[in-house]
Amino acid sequence: MAAPLDVLLWRGGSNGRYQIYEVPRRENQTVLDVVTWVQRHLDATLSYRFACRVGMCGSCAMTVNGRPRWTCRTHVSKVAGGGRLTIGPIENLPVIKDLAVDMTAFFAKWQAANGVFAPSATRAAPIARIAPGKASRRAADAAIECINCAVCYAACDTVRWNPAYLGPAALNRAWTLLNDERDAGNAKRLAVIADDGGCYVCHSHQSCQEHCPVGLNPTASIAGLKRRAMAAYLKGKIGS
């Protein structure tokens, strides 16, 4: 039987500290399994967030050995070098308790970036036919699979430096809607993302695409937004 894991878990709020736990090592063990084992067997007061356990819901993001990751799809064998795991809450969001962070600012920025679909037709209208090969649809498809896990937001240095920055996830969402022919909210959306806190705050560090668990490239989406917003500005369609 393999030696047990030394697991350091963040306990408390923003002024908390890491506490060490010993967890049995198993085959096919994810980081979320480790956290759950601690909660079920060692300390029932441990707070953390998860739902689907299969990489769909985006609830279980944590900082694992210094990197933001989706813990339900992160195998211990890939990250626990030396049999040691350090698991903390994700960065750039306030800690509520232990491994759970307050996501309010993250989702508020989705709203601020007009990340909600604005229909241009009623439900009585026929289904829009958009060719799969069309450039705008391909651009939207490439960015659409975001699971709202906030890993990119936690990995972004610019979010850390500038709290007004909307962040990669909200801007990536805006990019998908900007390329959605059925959406009618793009004038308002472009005005917001071209303003202070919008796409031009991005320094293209590319941490978002480096860390995105589902392999999206928000940096490319933001680059697209920069081009689209600049064209709109030069044509006088938006002011700033």
Partner 1 sequence: MNVRFYVWQRLTAAIMAPLAFAHLIVIFYATRHGLSAAEILGRTRGSAAWAAFYGLFVAAIAVHVPIGLRTVLIEWTSLRRRHCNMAALAFGLLLAVIGLRAVAAVVLP
CA distances from 123 to 104, 119, 127, 128, 182 (A): 31, 9, 8, 11, 12
**Angle ∠(196,220,148) on CA atoms, nearest 5:** 75
Is 195 among the residues that bind partner 1 (CB under 8 A)? yes
- Taken as a whole, the chain contains a residue count of 240
One of 56, 161, 187, 188 touching partner 1 (CB under 8 A) = 161
Site string for partner 1, 60-99 (x = CB under 8 A): ----------------------------------------
Alpha helices in 144-236 (DSSP H): 151-155, 157-161, 168-178, 186-193, 207-211, 218-234
H-run or E-run covering 107: helix 104-112
Is 233 among the residues that bind partner 1 (CB under 8 A)? yes
Is 240 among the residues that bind partner 1 (CB under 8 A)? yes
Is 47 among the residues that bind partner 1 (CB under 8 A)? no
Stretch that binds partner 1, among 9-17, 42-50, 119-127, 157-165 (CB under 8 A): 157-165
Stretch that binds partner 1, among 114-122, 134-142, 143-151, 195-203 (CB under 8 A): 195-203
CB of 131 to partner 1, least distance (A): 31
Copy the structure tokens of residue 51.
Answer: 């739902």
Sorted by sequence, the CB contacts under 8 Å of residue 173 that are 6+ apart come out as 110, 113, 115, 143, 146
One of 19, 47, 77, 158 touching partner 1 (CB under 8 A) = 158
Is 226 among the residues that bind partner 1 (CB under 8 A)? yes
| Residues within the interface to partner 1 (CB under 8 A) | 158, 161-162, 194-196, 198, 200-201, 226, 229-230, 233-234, 238, 240
